[in-house]
Structure 1
Amino acid sequence: MSRVDDLGVLEEIFGRRGTGPLAGVVVADLSRVLAGPYATMLLADMGATVIKVESTTGDDARAWVPPHRDGESTFFLSVNRNKQSIALDFSDPAQLRVVERIIARADVLVENFKPGGLRRYGLDYDSVSAWRPDLVYASITGFGTAGGADLPGYDLLAQALSGMMSLTGSASGEPYRAGVALFDVITGLHAVSGILGAFHERQGSGTGQHVELNLLTSALSGLVNQSAAYVAGGSVPTRMGNEHPSLYPYEPFPTLDKNMVIAVGNNGQFARLCQCLGAPELAVDERFATVGARNANRVELRQLLIDGLSTRNAADWFERLKAAQVPCAPILGVDEGVHFAEGLGLEPVVMAGFGEREIPTVRHPVDFSRTPVDYTHAPPLLDGDRDRVLAWLERVEPEVRKAS
């Protein structure tokens, strides 16, 4: 691996344990809000040393409250674990020089400035790659650098412009956004995969490259079967409420006390559902015996299923259907979802940091058998690691400096 920092120095100065698969990799994080910070947190969890370079007023997400924990935005806390923060004013030549020194030491740079926004500081890809050709430089925008360059990169805009909102909500109601910034998250995940792909290629070639992502392309990719319905099939999907365009039953159904989800993906599951409902004849009824037939006759089938489910409450049906290997689930709140995951032994909550600054966070989604994730650092206070970052820069002289 080329240009990977000394683990002993990183552990001594930043307290990284050096156990993750990216131990020794240094990331200059010039991103803000969600897509970029989510990507860099996942890299940090995997052992990378992430230097979060913030403006003197801090990442915008620090001010996004409520909710908060002891005055700190839980939005910010959700995507900034395991990072070191230094606040710098790019318009000040001396502070800009510190940014350049961080980049000179980094293996990866991640930024989500407006297209062209870093050019005036000489920190755009073309400028930086001239003196750091081995750097993996990842740029995240809302809508690319051509015709969409002037559009603000907000997830809600991507949900509207991609068609996502046209698919969300009841068939007769208004379009709705998803309850989470879905395409920011998807773009962050795509950024991680792109960075790792470019980093792997650099191991052989010794040369970095520009990894570019935007919310709209990630959104259209993330719409998978819905975007493919139009692109490959010429069919424009529409809102169907909680129903699925290709599967039935695959939605919430009322029971004796409240709704629960049933998600039947094949004929065998449907037969087991019918057996549990005491109506095995439905599974061989020509109106419902195949996926296509169930889709064509979903209105009639829905009422028959509701009649059967009305005899027991949701909790009882969940246990019975689960035992019969029929995919189903109660509809839980976020708090209940966390507790349900705990009950499965998934340990969804981990403490990041130690001592007085220890923050409960949601665990990294990947487990590594040999190079485990660690949660050494709580999300940083603004400029809270300035002394450590500067000490690291003095301790390890960069191999490459920007040409003056």
Structure 2
Amino acid sequence: MSVLSGIRVLDFSRYIAGPYCASILADLGADVIRIEPVAGGEDRLLVPVTEEGQGALFLQMNRNKRSLAIDMASKEVEPILSRLIATADVVVTNMPVDALKRQGLDRERLVAVRPDIITTNLSAFGQSEALRAKTGFDAVAQAISGAAYLGGSEDAPSRAASSYVDYGTGLAGAMGTLAALIERMKSGKGQDVQASLLATAMTFINAAHIEAAAKGTDRQPWGNRSPFSGPSDFFATLDGFIAVQVVGNVMFQRWARLIGRPELAGDPRFASDSMRGLNGEQLSVFMRAWCEGKSTAEALALLARAGIPAGPVYSPRESLTAPDIAASGVLHPTEVAGAPAPLPLAELLVRFGDSATGIRSAAPMVGEHSAAILESLGLSAQEIAVLFARHLVGAPERRGMAKAAGSPRP
């Protein structure tokens, strides 16, 4: 049995943080229903990869979910939504407070429908009076936290290629939701779970804030090189680049012997991780010289024998065929309607030995499950047909979405 079997989640969120939070709950076995406009949410279209234009981000964030496409602006569907909310354990949103109220998704209204409901809202800046109306995306949070500054160069700041703030906020939301479900089992009471992009961004680079406050340090951009140990950088080989990260005195001694410079282990400039970080550019010079004339495979083999953590710098396409990644089972080939081949969706970040978790079905078409969900709420076939005819509820033009390889959705 799945970990969250019997738990129903309504997902009103869009883009990454909220949908990722809900997808984790879906991977753990919850019945997650994505509520979206009759024509579908705009987040379906980012990075389109299928014939229907569904995007890569959407396919990742919405696997294992069902779709109910409904006109939330219509007064006529309010009773239907209330009936659906009454069946839900969790409601996931990612809107400012004012937007939640306009949509009728504020906690006061939801609790009136189901007193023990858990509300999980992932906002940009949190719920303080001064900030709760502000909107923002991942890059904004990276920028204001100081991460984009430190990760760039002297000429320009640089955001990370991955929207790690969004993903981290989704993880935080899922963690908080799971804790709230446990608390409800004990007390019978629901919880209001809050997470924000700002809190995630500040948390993930908090060591830099602590150092700045404690020592008055004003770190300059460090790009790919770590300021806390060394050598820790990316280095060119004859046919590509490799990442190398040396941490600790014992490992540094092994590295120094490997490159033929054992005397560096006794050099006061490199006496500790902090000193090696401070003088890391000189260590990178030594490492670049060692890499010259070596292929990526040759350099990595020598580093592995010396017990030095290192790896090749791959493009996303190269990652797909990398032996280590294939062996890990992280990517799950999933059949998606309109895609030329099964698509590699990243599995749930944690594994359970005795529970059925992971990817069971691809992201749904717009309104793919509208009829079934409405029927489960007690609406008759005639009532449902009227809603479709009046475009208050949407359904896909083509049905029968392909399932992920493996067992079908229960």
TM-score for the superposition, normalised by structure 1: 0.86
Mapping of residues 242-253 of structure 1, within 5 Å: 242-253=224-235
- Change over 3 Å in CA distance of 1:40–1:315 after alignment to 2: same
- Change over 3 Å in CA distance of 1:343–1:137 after alignment to 2: closer
Mapping of residues 144-223 of structure 1, within 5 Å: 144-145=126-127, 146-170=129-153, 172-223=154-205
- Change over 3 Å in CA distance of 1:141–1:296 after alignment to 2: closer
Q: State the AA in 2 paired with 1:363.
A: E
Contiguous gaps of at least 5 residues in structure 2: 380-410
1:332 positional shift: 0.8
Residues 45, 373 of structure 1: 8 Å contact kept: yes
1:297 positional shift: 3.4
Structure 1 distance, partners of 2:235, 2:99, is: 50
**Is 1:371 matched up with 2:321?**
no
Q: Secondary structure at the match of 1:239?
A: coil
Of 390, 394, 404, the residue aligned with 2:374 is 390
Q: Secondary structure at the match of 1:252?
A: strand
1:224 positional shift: 3.2
1:229 positional shift: 2.3
- Change over 3 Å in CA distance of 1:381–1:47 after alignment to 2: same
Q: State the AA in 1 paired with 2:316.
A: V
RMSD, aligned CA: 2.3
Residues 228, 278 of structure 2: 8 Å contact kept: no
Structure 1 distance, partners of 2:124, 2:98, is: 13
- Change over 3 Å in CA distance of 1:22–1:236 after alignment to 2: farther
Structure 2 distance, partners of 1:342, 1:253, is: 20
2:282: which partner in 1? Answer: 300
Q: Secondary structure at the match of 1:72?
A: coil
Structure 2 distance, partners of 1:127, 1:70, is: 36
Q: State the AA in 1 paired with 2:283.
A: L
Contiguous gaps of at least 5 residues in structure 1: 1-18, 396-404
**Is 1:51 matched up with 2:33?**
yes
Residues 93, 122 of structure 2: 8 Å contact kept: yes
- Change over 3 Å in CA distance of 1:185–1:255 after alignment to 2: same
TM-score for the superposition, normalised by structure 2: 0.85
Q: Secondary structure at the match of 2:77?
A: helix
Single out whichever of 186-195 and 242-251 deviates more from structure 2. 242-251
> What is the aligned-residue identity percentage?
32
Structure 2 distance, partners of 1:307, 1:342, is: 27
Single out whichever of 50-59 and 309-318 deviates more from structure 2. 309-318
1:341 positional shift: 5.8
Q: State the AA in 1 paired with 2:251.
A: Q
- Change over 3 Å in CA distance of 1:26–1:304 after alignment to 2: same
Structure 1 distance, partners of 2:228, 2:264, is: 19
Q: Deviations over 1:93-114 (max 9, x none)?
A: 2212222111110111101123
Of 327, 346, 351, the residue aligned with 1:362 is 346
Structure 2 distance, partners of 1:232, 1:23, is: 47
**Is 1:259 matched up with 2:241?**
yes
Single out whichever of 268-277 and 65-74 deviates more from structure 2. 65-74
**Is 1:338 matched up with 2:320?**
yes
Residues 5, 31 of structure 2: 8 Å contact kept: yes
Structure 2 distance, partners of 1:369, 1:228, is: 39
Structure 2 distance, partners of 1:387, 1:352, is: 25
1:103: which partner in 2? Answer: 85
Single out whichever of 227-236 and 98-107 deviates more from structure 2. 227-236
- Change over 3 Å in CA distance of 1:135–1:232 after alignment to 2: farther
